[in-house]
Chain A
Amino acid sequence: MNALGHFFQAIPFELLIIQTVNGIVTGMILALIASGLTLIFGIMDVVNFAHGELFMLGAYVGVVVAAATGSFWLALVGAALIIAILGAALQIVTLRPLIGRDPLNTILVTFGISLVLQNFALWQFGPTARRIAAPITGEFTLFYLQYPWYRIMIAVLSALIIGGFWLFLKFGKFGIWIRATTQDRVMAQAMGIPVPWVFTGVFAIGAAMAAASGVLFAPLVGVDHSMGLDWVLKAFIVVVVGGMGSLGGSIAAAIFISLLESYAAIWVDPSQAIIVSFVVLILTLLFRPTGMFVATPK
């Protein structure tokens, strides 16, 4: 009992608040990545192994554009556009021939793509990490910390992108096509929706979202060629925990897992904190394999 009391006393209240803010910020970036992943999965039945690499390449394009123009905002838009075009091209060349084949083929192909992209980045940009300067440098006082406004801005921007994307799905013409294709691929095709192009478009949108989150994240840590795998793993966990193909579930799971990880980081090394999300994944698989944040399937 005494030990337990000591345990709770050992948590400074301020630290808890700081870690909550940190968790929400990373959670929003993760949600942005994972929503692209879950969208691609929900519509195309493709688990995009190369998603982390699109995130990483997006960050690199951001670095290049920011260095050339000096503008963070141009870098953000430029990276999203260029990676969207790259994503569309990749989908047309490699994934379209596989439509109708065993879904395991697609995971192998996207794994091959991730390999090529990662080594391309290493070859082209070298092993040293690059940085983008944050567009705003102000800080505010959070207890004893000087907390950068930029982190708050990341969370807000991610929320805006996801919100805009949701509106697009709900009201945009292409968004309605996407939802129709998710519900019934054959029927959508019969209604005249160009399903193969919807696939391409969805892949491009998912890629653009990954690239945008890459650029947003770049000022916090350096950009290097191996950053993709960590994030794609986390995004996979989020997508499974949130319920495969469910957008809302993914966002909830992203924030949930990031919060847990940043609380865990109070006591253990941040590199070990990822074990917490593995544990969440195992528990989900054991007790609720359809996902924690979706309604029980009938």
Chain B
Amino acid sequence: MNGLAKIFGFDSEDYDQWQVNWAPEDPWLIAISLGLMMPLALWFFWTSLRRVGSKPKKVFLFFLRVVAFVLLLVILLRPELEFKKSHSLKNHIAILLDNSKSLSIKTFPKEVPRIDLVRKTLESNKEYFDQLKKDFQVDTYFVSDGIEKVSSRLKDYQANRPYTDYRRVLEELNKIYENKSLQGVFLFSDGADLTQEPGEISPDILKSLTRINGPVHTLQAGSNDQFRDLALESVSAPDFGFVQQPVSLSLTVFSSELGNRNVPLVLKEGDRILVSKIIEIREDQKEYKVDLQFTPRKIGKRIYTLNLPRFAEESILTNNQKEFEVDVARDRIRILHLNGRPSWDSRYLREVLANNPRVDLLSFFILRNMGDDVVAPTSELSLIPFPSNLLFDDYLSSFDLIIFQNFKYEPFIDKKYLSNIRKYVEKGGAFLMVGGELSFHGGSYSHTPIEDILPVSFKDVETRFIDKEFRPKISGDFSNHPILRLEKELNEEVWSSLPPLHGANLGLVANKDAYVLLKNESESPILVAGEFGEGRTALLATDSVWSWGFGGAGGRYFHRFWNNVIDWLIAEPETRRLQLESDKERYREEEQVLIKFKLLKENYQPAENITGKLTLSSRSGEVIAKELKTDKLGGQVFPFIPEQSGFYEAVIEIEGLQEKIMFSVLKDNAEFEKPLVNDFVLKKIAQVSGGQYKVLDGTNDLSALQFENPEIKVKSHSRSFSLWENWWAYGLVVGFLVMDWWLRRKAGLS
């Protein structure tokens, strides 16, 4: 080395190694070429010297040519002499600390959280890890659904990540140590990776383990011994349901170490119990499949809560309750349509309803009256008894809308059932009375609950029904009312183009809070809408709108008119004067929520500069209450960042109207639903990687866990000298060739 240093002129202490490097672009091609050329060249050199008589001279000349040829070849291979200095590197050890939520679960019998077992183990083995750090580069990571490098101080070690995913963790670990020497891994975890099926480990995890050089020692935090818990493990409920249609949900209840006992499972909406079931918990069984069915009664986003009782000795209590959301919609609009007698008006309305795919229609025509003589026995008639008790007692609440069309309730409906209709509307139902001689006074509805719910009162008049042609006119500025909206533009012109009507019920006096939408020429109300309790009611004081549906352009508007009436009565969202919505249905924690509302006046024009109160509340109580003023378009937007996860309710109250919506801020508590330690996965990881599996009790001695520590040399600096690109390399070649030429000349050869 010293000799070489002198030749090349550098300090020999700067370098401790040297080597020759060859730098051809394609060494294989050159090697193959050389293999072919060398014998050919040797044969050529030898045969060209055949006229040389002296054998020693011949051999010497041959030697000269071979040396010159070899030197040429060496130049072609561009050799470089490299002097370098190297130093040793430490091997890596990775400590993986599971920081998912399940680490907060208590372990029995000492009721120590799993994470504390990890902390204690790290503390009690501090010397071991310090020693390890001297020999290795020890890196610490928090692992859960990803991997995060942390400082060696563990004050930030909290069990707060939503779930564990070993596959992702090991993949990311392999990426981090792709060009490094990772000699081993400590995995402190409870093994609760919910992506793994019980008793199985995914091939991806095994594949990742094979890429790690050293062993993975798995250190199990917590155990399933004496693990006491009652949990709603998995709840499978549909996101969508239909009002008045049963919704099925299936769930698994998990029980461990709770002995034999019966526990009630209760499904609630708010404080109202919808369904409950007794589950017989037995010592020798851990999982119980339960199917429940309930019937949503109202449309909109509904929040339901499943509850199991909480026992003091349980490891975790939060998994005894689970909330879920079902967006309840109308599958079809259920309408009960009662006709006092078959008529063109009733036929055309029935046709509209029956042909509407959104409508589930139950209609009854009174085909004969008590005094009618059918001249046939009942067995030869298609008439069926009118099931008034079923309709107005048992199933009344299942209807979205009840229509009495020219229908006199006596003798078909007992008067007591009229009170049921009143209650039904009060609770949010809808009622429509369509005119004719048997409606209003003619149907003996004076001073009955029906008069109460209708937006008119009955005045005694001599003529209750007049058969006279008239053109209905839009009352006041209600042309924008959803019921009257036949066209977006030129709506009033459309109304005036409709065929005239014939016949109107008289003696109807609109209530103060009623919306008189149409009147006849003598200012009698023809179409009146109103609200009663939570429900809506309307009346049409004529039996002749069928003429709009028969012939001409009116047909299209006839259908639209009735669909508008139905939509308004059942309070479809677009017909509500106060509309409230959030920009999304589900939010992540700390995500901004936008609450929007819009207020329309009674005539459905934007209500400007009106102050309303927006209240946001969670299950734990009111969060925000704020007064907001509507803008020019009658709307306003309120941004809000929820501090806690869970379900929230937003309520807007303005001008005596109220709307509610619900939205959820999600927090993933899946690991609490399946809280058991998964020792199978941890054992398997240790076994496949050649590591050891240990169950932590806080006092474990880990010093027996050792790792290989091979020496790793890494070049720190180097210097190279070209052995071919200099004058003496070329001089040698030329020198040998010149000597060859000179000797041949001297010997008299050409």
Q: Are both chains from one complex?
A: no
Q: Which A residues lie at the B interface, using CB under 8 A? A: none
Q: Which B residues lie at the A interface, using CB under 8 A? A: none
